[in-house]
Structure 1
């Protein structure tokens, strides 16, 4: 814990050191960093971080036409580590972000000449992050990586293409199909490529475009992208055929009028069904089912009939009426047995 005595001791030691300077007038700080005949200019940015703070500094290295080299501190900046505890690699990334923002503010000073810029950091993990697409990283890391890439886009080199890994490593397929290159769907270049692929393949549909794209690339949300391309194609919209729509008539009154079950119903026969009497040497007999369907409740009632005669249908109708009362209206397909019963 810092006490009053400790603070006074540190302050006095600082002023005692300044008192030892015998000739302060001889101390000079140059404000002009270039040489009269500057031949080569280099900007070197350094950054480092600890768990308590992080800082960056920018040095200017100049070389005259005679070979004289001068190095001057151009500017620097520091920040205290955030209150919310972060890992050391994330603080190193914040340090790099601070250096990129500092460089963006001062780079216009040397826009007239040819300047070589170097950024140096001792964090291998940060260098790995800067070579990735920001959308593949976490929110904290991705936002800062995106800013650094935008501020120093002409200074970061060595980007690597991301390939999709899957379980087709042993498949007899070309390498581009087994491990396609990952592309973002928001890129204008990707949109133009999909449009070109759509026209080259005679205005292929959305599903065909997805299959063609995946022969070489893997686009994030490719189905939405291809559907948007097909729908925005003027040629496809103009020549899209209009399919004929079947006109559906209204329901008959017998289907929508309130009534008791099987008051209005339809009937038809199904079969034949073989019935075995389990008598040796006796051939099976054919039987049928009379199917009654209620038009209001869609209930189904079946009765077994021995043949397709009118008499058998009458017997089935009597059994059905004994359970559900005789219907008022019966609809059928005008088979011979039904016509005979009607007459």
Structure 2
């Protein structure tokens, strides 16, 4: 941008002459004209002779009067635009007006551009000058931090003045685009007509000497020094047809429907947002008011004609009027008799449902009903707190308001907190039922507050009660720990783990110390267990990698024996391993409780003691003996009752005998063995009579729920992320139990599939709640 304040020192008129001569030089060099033309030779000679003159020109940088820079002045911009067949230009002047009446006008920015090579009409060039003028004014406004409305634009072209006041879409593309650009930064009322234009000097060119002494160029025309009332005024009337307009055949179609004057065409059921409904209603009211003002102005009503012009954005009073419009509609539809009685100035009937609220009309909007109540004299409280607006329970407006408040709270508060926020302005009939109902229908609230899925507890698997009745014939395996042990003075402490084997029938437990969590360490512990307690027929565990690896190695070891009688014998004695679903510890509750008791016993015994491996093994055996001596049945106070069963009774050779020790020792070994076996069988009979019947009762998860089906959308629990950011998953496959209830499913998250229990999933199906089961008074309290 070449201007007077350009650091390069290029002056606008001088630049124009340079660019024009440069074009002529190019033409001469290409042989289009005679290079020995005397006129061109003279113009180039005069141009080179003026190259040293611009250094003598000085432009003032301060726009205020010298010596009065700190005094108060009113700054405004005045932009002059013009065009000729050679160039188009624009000048921007800063007008500083002081309280005493002094006025100083200074050139702030000027620019001129040569006309395009393509031939253009003078009106179109004048319009390009207008575009240049608004761009320069915007630059000065940004630099001086002046409001855009304080700029005044001057032009001597009536076509430009008519164009900027017309609609840009009525013109051809090139003219319409420039008109739209001018209207983007200025209003049509800011453009005025001027007979003498200083920008005309920039379109024709001046020498450096002429420019330095031109007072009109530096200080603007005389009219800027005069008062506003003395400026030339000309009433500009835009004709119906202007140059550059496009005549289009307009076809307008109307759909007419006859409605009552009291019926508003908008319906809240068509909107899902309270804010959007209110804003659309406010815009409709603004349109209606504009139509009324225009109709009143045509009838000659001076008061309506002098009404203020509406702002671009909606005002607060317009939004409040739109809100009160819907409050009144909701009240009139839900309580027609009460609304009619109160708006007509009559009292409510004795059996009116709103009588206990003592409703009154709002002071600012008499069409809205508010709670009268007993807080009329509490002047220190806000008006809406003393007289909250009454909202019906089942109306759509109430639902939208509750949803808007819930969204404002980011769906992170409970129904009571949400209702407390609403009661600061509204009194919702049966408010607690309404807030609970809306939260049950909100998907975002479902993500943050919905409970995980649950199902009635499944029947006991067959292996829990089926024979053979032998301790550790069916076991559950899990780990506890870690426990740190010292290896010597100055050596690093190592981690040791407790491998817990729990009998699924007798609840007896066996503890082994594992030196790691890898598969090899578990196989060694499992081998020690089998050597002491015999090989179990079935093993139940979770999906730990060490357990999965051990099961695979045992299966491969049996398969590697080859065919024949030996392989068949080993296969018949092979261990059947069962894995619970991932992230489902409640599937192994029978041995998880033993792990919990083992942890408690070990922590109470060891605390933070520094033990060696040998001392830790001793503590593990002590905890095992402690848990195996715990009673499994109720302890009786009657001396004639048998002692309660403990896991020790089920371990071979350790069941308690009622005969004296001396008599037992004198028995024949064969009779002694038979007596021990008889006592052991009696222990298992007591187990069938006293312990197994207690397993028949549903201790928890006693209520049946809806089965999750393939295709359902659920939230998958992820402990590493907050609840509101749990990933969405789709149910691919379900695994119903023997009772037909689904407790395990296959889900897909993106392209990954995995098996999960339903306790790790949150169903997103929104079930409607029973809104008629509220136990609160719907009038005396808002909840």
TM-score bin, normalised by smaller chain: 0.3 to 0.5
Q: TM-score, normalised by structure 2?
A: 0.19
TM-score by length of 1: 0.41
Structure whose alpha-carbon radius of gyration is higher: 2
Higher helix share: 2
